[in-house]
Structures are given as C-alpha cells and as structure tokens.
Chains A and B, each alone.
Chain A
C-alpha cells in the first residue's frame, strides 16, 4: 500500500498548514463570526471549526460574504467560492513558491495560497481586481503595459501586487529593492527585464507624486 500524501513524498508546507489550520482559525474570528460557525468542543477541550462557515471578507474595499471551510485557503475562497469569483490571483504552485497568487493583506503582500480564508476576517484585502481605482490604472499597471512587462500574463497579477506593495509603502524604492520585492515571483516567459523597466518607470511617477 502506498499513498503519496502519507508517505511524505509530496508533503507541502500547506498540507501541514491546512491540517493545523482549523485550530488556528478560532482565535482570528470575532465573536459574531464565531456564532455563525459549526464550531464545537472536541475531546481534548480545544474548540475547532468544522464544515462550512459563512464569513465576511473585506475585499477591495467592499464587504463580501463567502462560505468556506476552515481549511479553505484565501486563494480558493477568492477563485472557487466567491460569487462572482475574483480569479485574477492565480493558482500555480499551491505551496508558496511562485507568487502568482499574491494579494495585499493590510497593505502587505502575501501568498493567498498559504493563508486560510478564515484567518483573513477583519483584514483589509486587496486583489489585482482592486489595484486600479475604477478605470484609472495604478501607475505600475500603466507601466507594465507600456514596457511590455507581460507575455502570457499568468504571473502578471502576482508581480503587480508584489511590486505595488513595495512602491506604495516606499515610493523611493531602488531597483535592488524592487527586485527584492518580487524575488518570490516567477515568470516563465522571461519578462523580467521589462518588469524592471516598468517598475522603475512607475517608481518615478510615484516618487514624483503624479498619481
């Protein structure tokens, strides 16, 4: 008998995280959110969540209700459970290695595939769909278009979220800091030189206050 998950052949960080997640989730939920869940006391006296839970996420400035399981990742909640879905963040590695699912959590970049949706209640979440203000693109989005910092485009939302978090918090960021900010993102088409050109161009706009 062999089972790849149990034999440890394919034990990713999140398989561990998911199995531990139900426990961690309880603490992050507010009183009102907890009341709506199927929480219960197990034999060891620790409260765990089971089954489907309706939570409210603050997404791109709006409150969105979504039914998740305690183990549902933020990425899966966005892509698979929200109606209509937010599918700009991409599922690529499913283990926090490629950055394609990067979103902002309280202004900081985070891999949505490594977060549990229930842990994100009460936090300000921004996805690629919320990076532009209405029809006005973020300067980094404009620069990505102008410098052809995308080819197939599958990694693009992740790069934009990583670098925009860097530039929005530090408009004076240097090229090295920009490279550091997206060191956890992977582009297979090889658009890096164009991404750097775009980021530097956007940095100039942001540092100049032209927004």
Chain B
C-alpha cells in the first residue's frame, strides 16, 4: 500500500515518512537547469520591448554636497530622448542619483551622462567611524551623528562577575562594510502602462509586494510584476527603489518602455550593503572554561541607516552579560538586509573572543565551545565538523604554533543559528488537465535557491508523478499571493502551501474519478503506476485517469498549514587554514559545515546553499571591504576590479553535511550557512601562527604586521 493511500491520512496534508519519499529528501536536478545552461532563462536585464529606451542614472561623485544639475547640453545629443533631474540641492550620501537619462541606445545614454553639467559645492562630510565621532564632525544624521544607546543587561552585575573570573580578555573587533554584489544589478523594465494597468519586469525578492509600490508612479490600479529569473538578491532587493520609481515615471510620461538597470558603480554605492561595526568586548571565564561575564559595546556603521547587529552574547551561554549598542552615521547609503542581517558581524566578535579566552585559560578550542554552546544540537554538530576537519589529530588544540616553521596550519570553529520559520502568505494553485499535464503556480520568486524546483517536486511526490510530469510556474504576481524572500522564510511559508494545494488537487481528482468509475474516492490511491482502486483492484494509468476528466480538468488551491514547517536551525562550521609566515599569504585549505534544516526538499539544492554560505563567508573573511577615500569622500572600489570576490583560485575543499538527525518539517536555510565561516577562518589563522587578526578583511599585510609584533624580525632563511 502506498504512503499516499488516502485512508492512511486524516483530513490534512502531512509529509509522511521520509523513507517512503521518492523525490523529496533526495538529490535531483533543478527543473530550470537546462534553461540556465543554455542562456534561455530570461532575466530582467534581458527583457527587450519594442521601442524600449535605455535609462541610466548619474550619481553625485562625493559624499556630501550642494548640487545643481544642467541638462541642456545632454538633452540636445542625438539619440537622447530625455534627461531630467532626479534630485538637486543637498546630497547626503555618496553616489545618490542626481539625474537620469533615457536614450535609444546604451551608447547615446552614456553620451548624455557625460554631457550633464553638475555644479557641485562640496560640504563637510564623514565617511568613517572616526570622522563621524570626531569633536568637530559635521552633522550627518538628522538628529546628530549617533543614535541613542540601546542597553541590554545589568552592567553592575557584570562588573561584579568579572571579579570571580579566572581570566578576563578584552579586545576591539572591526568589521568593514560589505556589499551584496548581486551579479544582476537592481532594476526594472517598465512597459508603457494602459489607462488602468501596467507591467513591470523587476529583479526583486518581493515580487508580490513590489507591485503595490509601482502603482503610484505608474498611476494605475493594477500592476503585474514579472520576475521569472533573477541574478541574486541576498537581502538587497526588497524595494522598488529610486530606480523603480523613476523608470515608472519615465515610461508613463514618455509613453515608451524603459530599461533601467543600475550600473555596477551605482549598484555598489546606492543599492545596499551589510553594515560594518566596531565592537569592544570583554569576556571572563572560570578555570574550567565556563563563560561568566561579558561586557560589549557596539557601534554599528550602516551609512545613513541604523546598521544591523545580532546582539551579545551570541550563540553561547554567558552567566551574565551587558551590552550597549548604537548606530554611528556616515555620508554613505543606508545598509540593507543582507543574508543573516547582523549575525556575521556578531559572530566575528563572539567567536574571536571565545577563542582568546580559551587560549588565556589553556582550554581546548572545541571544548570551550561545547561547554558553553546554547544547544545540544550545536554540541553534536561541533563533534562532527571537528572530526571532518581533522581536529582530533591536530597538534595544537589550546595554543598556537609558535615554531619557526614558514608554513603553518591552524583550525578554527564557529556556530550559527537562525529563526527561519514561515506562516500564512502564499496561495498556490495546482491544475490537472485531461491531457495528463499538471501545473503548479504561485507568485513566489526563485532567487536561485531552487523554489521553482521544489514547487514541482512536492506536487509530483503527492501525485505519484515523475518530476518532469509537473510544470511549476513562479515569479509573476498573477500566479498567486506569495511572501517576500527574507529571513529564510520562503520555504517555511511556501512549501506547506504547495503541499496543501497538491493534497487538495489529489482529493479533488479522486472525487471526480470515483464518480466516473462508480467507486469510493477513499479507495483510490495514486502512485508511480497511476491510480489504483483498492476495492475493484482496477488500475488506470495516470494519462487514462486524466482522460476521464472534462475539458476543465481539476483545479485546487492550497495555503500554509500548521505542522508542515518548523523553525530555528543550527549549524557548526570549521576551517583549516595555512599561512605563509614569509609572505603573509592566507590559504583556506578546507571548510566544513554541518547544518540542520528539517526536511530537506532537494538535497542537491540544500548542499548548494550550504556551500554557497561558506564561499560567501570565505570571501568576506579574506577580501571584501567597501573603501572610501577618507579625505576626498570618493569611492575607491565601486567595481569588480577593485572590490575583490573570492573565486576559483581561492576555493578550498568544501564539505557540506546535512544534519539528518533533525526530523522536523521544512525550514529555510539560506541565512544560517553564512554566519560563522569568516570567524572560523580568523580563529584558524591565530591557531596556525599566534596572530589574532581583529580587523576584517584578514589580509597578508595585517598578518605580517602581526607576525612582526610577535617577535623581532629575523633575516630571511632559505628553505
């Protein structure tokens, strides 16, 4: 008897036992893989409409200025259709768009950008933490240069607790501003609106939500947002943005479709960043490594925005703790959500200082974590990643290698968790046609996480069909309500609704079939062979069963149901790093992550997410940093030549382990996997050679300075 036999279920959908699943919890190829490897997948950037104009922004080249814009000369150029002011007067952040051009070709648009005359009166600015806090600093925020301080915990109690500690360590850790660096920049292609409706192609994490934002500037009641493929989001793409608003206005007023995708420079300067921070931590522990007291002070650096921080203590139990957190404003664009907002920053501080205390106490780096981790899941995962990274054979577990060797290897650890979860948001439709085809539709966007694929797989699993037997349609508002993809809540919200829709479609199909076959719907079961009537033992192929349906087929909708999704996930990561003490070169040799995620819908895609999180953390650790020239207030690396991302040469051996002891319902995992990798790398560097790098990125120059401070420089020896 099939697991899908309706008599074994009650009135609500259930995932059923994992061992009887054919597709889910298995590895399978994405349904859109072929479209992606052949260049057929059409992204917003690729949309071409008849008579379409290319629009581009001109941004203010300095951080704070009074700007006047003269578009006369630019407007007169051949091929240029429109040049207009986006913003004049006081410009408060570097790169803020001041003008927009629309032209028949890209080249003409570039001509127009060059011909715009800006009259710029520079104003005093602050682009660094120190500049913003200086005694004579210019006013940056509307209400000063810092927010009010957010206090958490009892400082006096913590001060008392430090007295009981065997050892206390104190240090300041600095995290730079990072960029999302989505390969597809932000932007839209806006079609000419009709009197009451419009269509906007939008690279967005909130297909369904952004439709409302376009209604105003398009002056229409109804907007269809199309986003069938998108080139990354990572938290930066929740808003219509200035680009969305301006493109809608241009399309409406010029009566021409507008293609406005940000340039790479604009993408760096105005379309999002992960806030940096300066965090000073003081941590004390008992002789046996129990964490007793933590005092933390955090300055968040999110440009004109508030910044983001995961809070202290982070993933470890500390008997008593106190933190004071504030935002420090600079003349840079506001930070946006970025994959696990605030958590990687907090992880760098916390994992580093836990390590520093472990060395001070002479305690094994794995032991101190297991003793203080908040969760037993973390303890179990730490053991596994330690085994995988070679910890138990590793020579220096509680002291760095201070030998004269030139190449040294170290190991570091880090933990993550994330709330994820989901709730009612999505409306999914499953249609079964008389020709045997099955279609599942929902407005949700697929950021590259595999949404389209699991929508098809959940329906195929329920109906006993092969994956190819179901067509999933996603990324259009007309396909049905969907939540924004934020906080790893897509899977927790969407997958249960897909399951419910598939469950309802199967029952509706069974009811229709029972009528035709003059049998009882409860006797009909669906499996890979088709439909079986348990009473008459009659079997119908899927195709023949569908052929009994009328021309309208069967259709059912589904919504989120309690019990199919879960929340709160855990991960542990380890890194093995080699440093060259002569050149300062830092080479990550291996990274391991063990991650729980409830029911893995597609194990292949889950593994990709885990690896992707580790890769981004490695890149953050070693390379990524927004650089603004502090005296001139100009961008030094707003392009992919100077803003280095880790690539093929930097890739270590990577091991992604799905924690199968987790038997809960589905949970999204994107955020958790990016949280601790960079901290594990920093810890591994110290373990390798005794240099504690407290300022990211972890670069060779900093390592060499650290080595020089460890001991007096000696002449180089040949080896």
Residues of A within 8 A of B (CB): 1-7, 9-10, 12, 69, 71-72, 76, 79-81, 85-98, 100, 127-129, 131-132, 137, 141, 144-146, 148, 150-157, 160, 179-180, 182-183, 185-196
Contacts and interface: CB of A to CB of B under 8 A. Distances in A.
Nearest to A162: B648
A3 B640 CA distance: 21
Contacts of B263: 94
B138 interface: no
B117 interface: yes
Contact of A188 (B119, B634, B639, B645): B645
Given A94-B264, A191-B612, A146 B230 contact: no
Given A71-B107, A145-B29, A145-B30, A150 B37 contact: yes
B549 interface: no
Nearest to B635: A9
A96 B24 CA distance: 41
B668 interface: no
Given A4-B61, A182-B648, A79 B37 contact: no
B117 A100 contact: no
A113 to B, nearest CB: 11
Contacts of B21: none
Given A90-B231, A151-B608, A129 B645 contact: no
Interface string B560-589: 000000000000000000000000000000
A2 B62 contact: yes
Contacts of A196: 648, 651
What are the nearest 4 A-B pairs in CB distance? A88-B39, A190-B615, A152-B448, A154-B231
Contact of B611 (A79, A89, A194): A194
Given A9-B634, A151-B449, A183-B647, A3 B118 contact: yes
B641 interface: yes
Contact of B183 (A12, A79, A98, A182): A98
B37 A190 contact: no
A72 B654 CA distance: 41
Nearest to A67: B105
- Chain B interface category by residue count: 35 or more
A127 B37 CA distance: 12
B640 A97 contact: yes
Given A1-B120, A90-B183, A145-B33, A192 B615 contact: yes
Given A71-B107, A137-B38, 8 more contacts: A87-B46, A90-B45, A95-B640, A128-B39, A145-B29, A150-B33, A183-B649, A192-B615
Nearest to B606: A148
Contacts of A81: 105
A196 B654 CA distance: 11
B118 A155 contact: no
Nearest to A87: B46
Describe A's contact surface by its main secondary structure: loop
B42 interface: yes
A86 B39 contact: yes
A161 to B, nearest CB: 10
A148 B604 contact: yes
Contacts of B180: 188
Contacts of B638: 10
A1 B36 CA distance: 45
B612 A151 contact: yes
Given A100-B183, A153-B231, A190 B639 contact: no
B36 A150 contact: yes
Interface centre among B35, B36, B58, B62 (most CB of A within 10 A): B36
A9 B94 CA distance: 13
Given A2-B118, A93-B641, A150-B37, A183 B612 contact: no
B36 A156 contact: yes
Contact of B39 (A9, A80, A87): A87
Given A92-B264, A190-B615, A191-B612, A154 B184 contact: yes
B645 A186 contact: yes
A191 B611 contact: yes
Interface centre among B35, B48, B616, B647 (most CB of A within 10 A): B647
Contacts of B34: 137, 141, 145
B38 A129 contact: yes
A190 B614 contact: yes
Given A93-B264, A144-B33, A153-B448, A1 B118 contact: yes
A79 B326 CA distance: 47
Contacts of B605: 148
A205 B616 CA distance: 31
B93 to A, nearest CB: 15
Interface string B24-65: 000001101111111111110110100000100011011000
13 contacts: A80-B54, A87-B46, A87-B48, A89-B39, A90-B184, A92-B183, A92-B264, A132-B38, A150-B448, A152-B230, A152-B231, A156-B36, A192-B648
